[in-house]
Structure 1
Amino acid sequence: MCRNIRTLHNFEPPATDDEVRAAALQYVRKISGSTKPSQANAEAFDRAVDDIAEVSARLLSELVTSAPAKDREVEAAKHKARSAQRFAS
């Protein structure tokens, strides 16, 4: 999976539409191999982002878990600490 795509399920507050769309955009960029499509492919690219964002939002709304919701700030601090440790060497 692309490193830029973050887990969006089971957070408090829930993922926003912008976060879901950003993840969809990263996914489409990854599988298409381009960060900015040509004019000939722009419509298909944008349609794919819209479709994946819609399906992802539906998935997130339908998932259930008994685990307590994660705190975004705590998880961000964990990621930052892991990154600092990984790149310190």
Structure 2
Amino acid sequence: MCRNIKTLHNFEPPATEEEIYLSSLQFVRKLSGFAQPSKANEAAFDRAVNQVSKAARELIDTLVTNAPPRDREVEAIKARARSAERFRSDVSQRT
């Protein structure tokens, strides 16, 4: 899974359209292998991003859970800690 695609389900406040769009864009980029499509592929690329966004919104809106919503700030702090640990480990392995 692409590290740039974030979990969007079960957050308070809920995922925004921009967050869903950006995750969809990353997904389509990963599938296509293009960071930026050529002019010849631009329409297909944009259409795919829009379709994935629509499907993602529908999925997020219909998923159910008994777990309490996660706090965005708490999850961001955990992600920064994981990142710091991962990169600290990388540096210590080089020396």
Q: TM-score normalized by structure 1?
A: 0.98
Corresponding residue of 1:24:
24
Q: Following TM superposition, by how much is the alpha carbon of 1:48 offset from its aligned partner in structure 2, in angstroms?
A: 0.1
Q: Which runs of 4+ in 1 moved over 2 A?
A: none
Corresponding residue of 1:64:
64
Structure 2 counterparts to residues 1-89 of structure 1, below 5 A: 1-89=1-89
Distance in 1 (alpha carbons) for counterparts of 2:49 and 2:67:
30
Q: Following TM superposition, by how much is the alpha carbon of 1:88 offset from its aligned partner in structure 2, in angstroms?
A: 1.1
Unmatched tracts of structure 1, length 5 or more: none
Higher CA-based Rg: 2
Q: Following TM superposition, by how much is the alpha carbon of 1:79 offset from its aligned partner in structure 2, in angstroms?
A: 0.5
Q: TM-score normalized by structure 2?
A: 0.92
* 1:25-50: CA deviation from partner (whole Å, max 9, x where unpaired): 00000000010000000000000000
Q: Following TM superposition, by how much is the alpha carbon of 1:85 offset from its aligned partner in structure 2, in angstroms?
A: 1.0
> What's the RMSD between the two structures over aligned residues?
0.5
Unmatched tracts of structure 2, length 5 or more: 90-95
Distance in 1 (alpha carbons) for counterparts of 2:32 and 2:9:
25
